[in-house]
């Protein structure tokens, strides 16, 4: 019985499907969170990878973004959150990840996302991009729209996780 159990544990490990959900997440929205929740059910491990972009100053710095995403995803046992710089493909190879998860909101996202997926596949043909359709209720949502609404005093409740509402409002003041 013990040997049998060990055998299955080993098989499970070698067949683990690991995916990465990369992005800027400045800040994470309920649309991102929805993709994280759904993708965490499809893969054994999901890594949320926050891009360090030295050319772009965000509302939240990288450590803040990582901490916030960790906070709002703590209920998902197979989700981890890290930052990365450089090529996504290099990050994936270092971490044994073969699948990229991206959310698609509308046709307008498609062109940019297709270009990135094809470029990543050209850089490393063993990597696949899996597109998940954003839930209809979040199809209008983006980090930049949230920042703009907050900046002009609009209500961002229900657009971002509750924990972030106050923090974002403070940032824009």
68, 86, 55: which is closest to 27 by C-alpha? 68
- Yes or no: say if 17 and 92 are a contact pair by the CB < 8 Å rule: no
Interaction between residue 23 and ligand PNS (CB under 6 A): yes
Q: Is 144 a catalytic residue?
A: no
x/- mask, ligand PNS, residues 73-92, rule CB under 6 A, reads --------------xx----
Q: Is 143 a catalytic residue?
A: yes
Integer angstrom CA distances of residue 31 from 9, 11, 15, 17, 59: 34, 34, 29, 23, 18
Interaction between residue 52 and ligand PNS (CB under 6 A): no
Q: Is 32 a catalytic residue?
A: yes
Q: Is 74 a catalytic residue?
A: no
Distance CA 134, CA 136 (A): 6
How many residues lie near ligand PNS (CB under 6 A)?
A: 9
> Which is closer to ligand PNS, CB of 7 or CB of 110?
110
* Binds ligand PNS by CB under 6 A, chosen from 24, 80, 83, 139: 24
DSSP 135: P
* Binds ligand PNS by CB under 6 A, chosen from 19, 20, 22, 161: 22
Stretch that binds ligand PNS, among 7-15, 116-124, 130-138, 149-157 (CB under 6 A): 116-124
Interaction between residue 36 and ligand PNS (CB under 6 A): no
Q: Which position has the token pair 């890290």? A: 82
DSSP 1: -
* Binds ligand PNS by CB under 6 A, chosen from 116, 132, 145, 165: 116
- Number of alpha carbons in the 13 Å side-chain half-sphere of residue 105: 14
> Which is closer to ligand PNS, CB of 63 or CB of 155?
63
Helices (H), the chain: 2-14, 30-42, 62-72, 88-95, 107-123, 143-151, 162-172
Residues forming the site for ligand PNS (CB under 6 A): 22-24, 51, 87-88, 116, 119-120
Q: Which residues carry out catalysis?
A: 32, 56, 105, 143
């Amino acid at each position: 019985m013990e040997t049998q159990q060990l055998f299955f544990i080993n098989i499970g490990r070698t067949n683990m499907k690991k995916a990465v959900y990369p992005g800027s997440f400045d800040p994470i929205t309920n649309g991102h969170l929805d993709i994280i929740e759904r993708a965490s059910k499809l893969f054994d491990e999901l890594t949320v990878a926050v891009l360090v972009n030295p050319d772009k100053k965000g509302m939240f710095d990288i450590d803040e973004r990582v901490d916030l995403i960790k906070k709002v995803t703590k209920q998902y046992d197979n989700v981890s959150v890290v930052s990365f710089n450089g090529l996504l493909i290099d990050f994936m190879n270092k971490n044994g990840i073969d699948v990229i998860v991206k959310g698609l909101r509308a046709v307008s996202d498609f062109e940019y996302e297709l270009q990135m997926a094809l470029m990543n596949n050209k850089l490393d043909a063993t990597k696949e991009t899996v597109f998940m359709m954003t839930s209809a209720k979040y199809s209008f949502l983006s980090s930049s729209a949230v920042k703009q609404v907050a900046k002009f005093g609009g209500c961002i409740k229900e657009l971002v996780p509750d924990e972030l509402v106050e923090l974002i409002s403070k940032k824009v003041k």
